[in-house]
Amino acid sequence: MTVATRRTQDQRSAETRRLLLSATVKMLMEVGYANTSTAGIAKRAGVSRGAQTHHYPSKMALIVAATEEMFGNFASRLEVLAADLNNGDLDYDKFFEAVWEEVLHGDWFYSSLEIIVAARGDTELREQLSPLIIDLHQRFERIWTETFVALNPDVITSKVALNLALNVFRGMAVQAVLRRDEAYFREMLMALKTMLASHVQPAKSAQ
Amino acid sequence: MTVATRRTQDQRSAETRRLLLSATVKMLMEVGYANTSTAGIAKRAGVSRGAQTHHYPSKMALIVAATEEMFGNFASRLEVLAADLNNGDLDYDKFFEAVWEEVLHGDWFYSSLEIIVAARGDTELREQLSPLIIDLHQRFERIWTETFVALNPDVITSKVALNLALNVFRGMAVQAVLRRDEAYFREMLMALKTMLASHVQPAKSAQ
DNA sequence: ACTTACAAACAGACTGATTGGTTTTTTTGA
DNA sequence: TCAAAAAAACCAATCAGTCTGTTTGTAAGT
């Protein structure tokens, strides 16, 4: 239009796709799946609807691609936190607080919740997302088992403790939609840390 | 149409409303909020769209009324389970298994999840539902504190233990959407019971 | 170097279906 | 006789997907 910044086709494509996926995640996060239309995404991304359908012919293709990227981003973020715990930049308490912060205020949790709930009523979407979630979960388990060791593996393994913690976070985040009460969630998080502490400890401190 | 069973206006109204609310909850449960239309609800209820808009002029009025009833039903169901635990018809293990069964296969959890997620992107709906959820939660706390006592209230109170358990259930149910793995959830439930057992016990056995 | 041919990228109008809500008409009970 | 209840037609808005036309980059041929 104004200055013709010359780019290769690949560069143009990649940029457009990036804008679309980012806009998709942000819209899911901010207004929910029900209020996320393909036209809205295109507008938010600053891309024409034609460009959008060119790269992602259906809404599902767009959602699935956005989910893939979002899961990847979150796992990476978690890897960083785990590394921080391992090398001493974070202690046990701060680690969980950072994860909770990430869940509550990061891009990922609520957009994934929207997608999961949408998938409940859409067989095809569910089938497309299922492998992505399983992948993500395996990445979680790998990160976690490299970071925490169980005190009594016969009673509660490290893996189960991870899943318990994850599910508490999930549940809390859902509850937070209709109940904004920071003190309540702080108390809950403290209780979770206390209960977990008697079953797992950071691998680093076990050396 | 066929046989004119003579009923009072109140009876006709009450029956129509009952059919509509029941159909609403069932549709939310089975196909999700996104696929729940007012026309679909009316059809499923076997009621004309005119009758539906007569009793519930907007979709929100219908959703809110259905939520109210559903929450009431679930709290009642939980009261029965708690009473069974108190009078010895259920033991500690069986109680939690019954609650989990209720969450996973009952009418209420997934329909409430749909509604909560929908409320996230709809300010008015959120404001209407907020008091209902708080009511329900207070009922939970009352039931729970009459049923369980904390072993070390200074560390973890009975109330916090309840909320932790509730949130684990919530999280597990969300996870169950994309991960159907009964063994996994059994293991998770066992871990939850183990962890809870060291902080609360049934009030009855404490007498 | 410079055109030319072509395909990918992009833009935007259009379409059929569905939605929630309104209005009009008919039926039923008081 | 009248108002509540119920039925059904109707409407504007929105949606995902399709279609047609334009722009931009690429590569072959000269």
| Annotated domain spans of chain B | 8-57, 67-206
pLDDT at A48: 95
pLDDT at B7: 67
Q: H helices of B56-154, where?
A: 59-86, 92-105, 108-120, 123-145
Domain B8-57 sits in CATH 1.10.10.60: yes
Size of interface A-B (CB pairs under 8 A): 134
Q: Is the dihedral of CA B91, A188, B184, A82 positive or negative?
A: negative
Contacts 24+ apart (CB under 8 A), A141-149: A143/A75, A143/A78, A143/A79, A143/A82, A144/A82, A146/A82, A146/A86, A146/A203, A147/A82, A147/A85, A147/A86, A147/A202, A147/A203, A148/A200, A148/A201, A148/A202, A148/A203, A149/A200, A149/A201, A149/A202, A149/A203, A149/A206
Which positions of chain B have pLDDT values less than 50?
Answer: 1-4, 207
pLDDT at A5: 61
User: How far is Cα B94 from Cα B100, in angstroms, rounded to an integer?
Assistant: 10
Does the pLDDT at position A54 exceed 90?
Answer: yes
Residue in chain B lying closest to A187 (CA): B160
Q: How far is the CA of A38 from the C1' of C22 (A)?
A: 29
pLDDT tens per residue, range B134-150: 999 999 999 999 999 99
- To the nearest whole Å, the CA of A80 is away from the closest chain B CA by 24
Q: Note whether B8-57 and B67-206 share their fold.
A: no
Does the pLDDT at position A182 exceed 90?
Answer: yes
Burial class (CB within 10 angstroms; exposed 0-12, middle 13-18, buried 19+) of A106: middle
Q: Report yes or no: B33 at the A interface, CB cutoff 8 Å.
A: yes
- Report residues 51-110 of B contacting strand C, contact meaning Cβ closer than 7 Å: 53, 57-60
- To the nearest whole Å, the CA of A122 is away from the closest chain B CA by 8
User: How far is Cα B69 from Cα B64, in angstroms, rounded to an integer?
Assistant: 9
Domain B67-206 sits in CATH 1.10.357: yes
User: How far is Cα B171 from Cα A198, in angstroms, rounded to an integer?
Assistant: 21
pLDDT at A9: 72
Q: Which CATH class is domain A64-206?
A: mainly alpha
